Structure 1
Amino acid sequence: MVNVLKAKERTSERRSQIRELREQGGIPAIVYGYKTDNTPISISNAEFIKTMREVGRNGVINLDVDGKKFNVVLHEYQEDPIKKEVIHADFLAVDMSQEIEANVRVELSEDAEGLKDGGVLQQILHEVVVTAKPDEIPEVISVDISGLGVGDSISIGEIRGNYSVTINHEDDEAVATILTPRVEEDTEEGAESGEAPSAETKDSEEGE
């Protein structure tokens, strides 16, 4: 089921009107891409949040602009750094039969064996770029790291076969690794800093 988001075309880009739109619970936005020119629009903030919760970051939305409908994905958005509210959104109109590129979040599932041995998890890739038809883009790329021991890592090549989408990264690019614990090294450094002063140091201090 494709979710419908109502929108209205905007006829002005004046700051005062954009500010008034936001004060009234709206978001200035733009739609562009397949079979449409760059069109400034406005959407309801509440309806936008509701729609994104239902479809996810990469879901397909049926954008209804004054009765004219487009299949779109949320391409980019701007957020107020203090209020954490969306203040502008870019929608890309898509041809459902053609592949597009999208950023997909990487989620690590299951605790690694190496963590039980004191290893430290380092996630190197937090998102990947994929190519797929709009309705086939996954919400997340889930990576099972349960079998990783200390010093092990998992690469793009090892997860590529788990997904039907094209992952646009090199096979040897690491997704996550389990770093060797630093306990021993820290202990040695502590011992060095706590060493008793040498005889030469003592003689120097007594001479003073």
Structure 2
Amino acid sequence: MKSITINGSKRESVGKKATKALRNAGQVPCVLYGGDQPLHFAADEIAFKDLVYTPDVHTVVIELKDGEKFDAVLQDIQFHPVTDAILHIDFYQIFEDKEISMEIPVHTTGIARGVKNGGVLRFNLRRMRVKGLPGNLPDFIEADITPLKIGNKLYVTALKSDDYKIMHPDNTVVCQVRTSRNVVALDEDEEEEGEETAADEVPATETNE
């Protein structure tokens, strides 16, 4: 997983006045959790641009002026309700031998068969929460939607990996191809109905073959 470096400095005071002064100076107050004790620091707001305003996920290297470095992930962020300016960010320290939980974006490959026949691809889950060692977590999870026909669903079980554990129930739908007004005639083999899946079975990729 890609990493972004945030240069900051420790906060000597964490009171309301000090926090307001930091924000007025264009800095964001932050807290790093997960270590022996919370670490309060601040960094320029512009330093978070590539971390916050992106659909991708990254790990973070927090580098302080005194030379200390910490590997972390973004845990929580607060925005101003009117201006959308970043008010506060919480980070969580990570260690290579300790599993963490993160939301990873889902990227699709291919063109669904049902879409070619006029159906519409609908996303139910654009990010998946997974758990694993930091070094095993991917930048994104790839989902091949090519076999999906109209009415088919792609379940999280189709995206299992030995590198991480999926933190969603097996019957969670990632995406599905739904009918639309533009549906064209189906292929002969697509018109044939296969055996119905038993109610107590949850397929990885639901097909009618």
Regarding TM over 0.5, the answer is yes
Unaligned runs of 5+ residues in structure 2 are: 184-209
Number of aligned residue pairs: 181
Q: 1:128-176: per-residue Cα shift (whole Å, max 9, x none)?
A: 1111112332222221212211111111111214x62221223332111
Alignment-mate amino acid for residue 175 of structure 2: A
Task: Rate the CA distance shift 1:53–1:173 in 2: closer, same or farther, 3 A.
Answer: closer
Alignment correspondent of 2:173 = 174
Alignment correspondent of 1:195 = none
Alignment-mate amino acid for residue 13 of structure 1: V
Quote the Cα distance in structure 2 between the aligned partners of 1:101 and 1:69: 21
What is the TM-score of this pair, normalised by structure 1?
A: 0.74
Deviation at 1:39?
2.2
Q: Which has the larger radius of gyration?
A: 1
CA contact (8 A) 1:59 1:139 kept: no
Alignment correspondent of 1:192 = none
Deviation at 1:89?
0.9
Instruction: Report % sequence identity.
Output: 25
Give the secondary structure class of the aligned counterpart of 1:37: coil
Q: Say whether residues 1:114 and 2:118 are aligned partners.
A: no
CA contact (8 A) 2:4 2:59 kept: no
Task: Rate the CA distance shift 1:64–1:15 in 2: closer, same or farther, 3 A.
Answer: same
Give the secondary structure class of the aligned counterpart of 1:149: coil
Name the stretch that deviates more: 68-77 or 148-157.
68-77
Q: CA RMSD in A?
A: 2.7
Task: Rate the CA distance shift 1:87–1:135 in 2: closer, same or farther, 3 A.
Answer: farther
Deviation at 1:20?
2.4
Give the secondary structure class of the aligned counterpart of 1:67: coil
Unaligned runs of 5+ residues in structure 1 are: 185-208
Alignment correspondent of 1:94 = 94
Name the stretch that deviates more: 141-150 or 104-113.
104-113
CA contact (8 A) 1:71 1:94 kept: yes
Alignment correspondent of 1:76 = 76
Task: Rate the CA distance shift 1:79–1:141 in 2: closer, same or farther, 3 A.
Answer: farther
Question: Whose helix proportion is higher, 1 or 2?
Answer: 1
What is the TM-score of this pair, normalised by structure 2?
A: 0.74
Q: Which runs of 4+ in 1 moved over 6 A?
A: 51-54
Alignment correspondent of 1:10 = 11
Structural mapping, 1:100-179, within 5 Å:
100-161=100-161, 164-179=163-178
Alignment-mate amino acid for residue 27 of structure 1: V
CA contact (8 A) 1:63 1:72 kept: no
Quote the Cα distance in structure 1 between the aligned partners of 2:3 and 2:122: 37
Alignment-mate amino acid for residue 90 of structure 1: D
CA contact (8 A) 2:107 2:141 kept: yes
Alignment-mate amino acid for residue 23 of structure 2: R
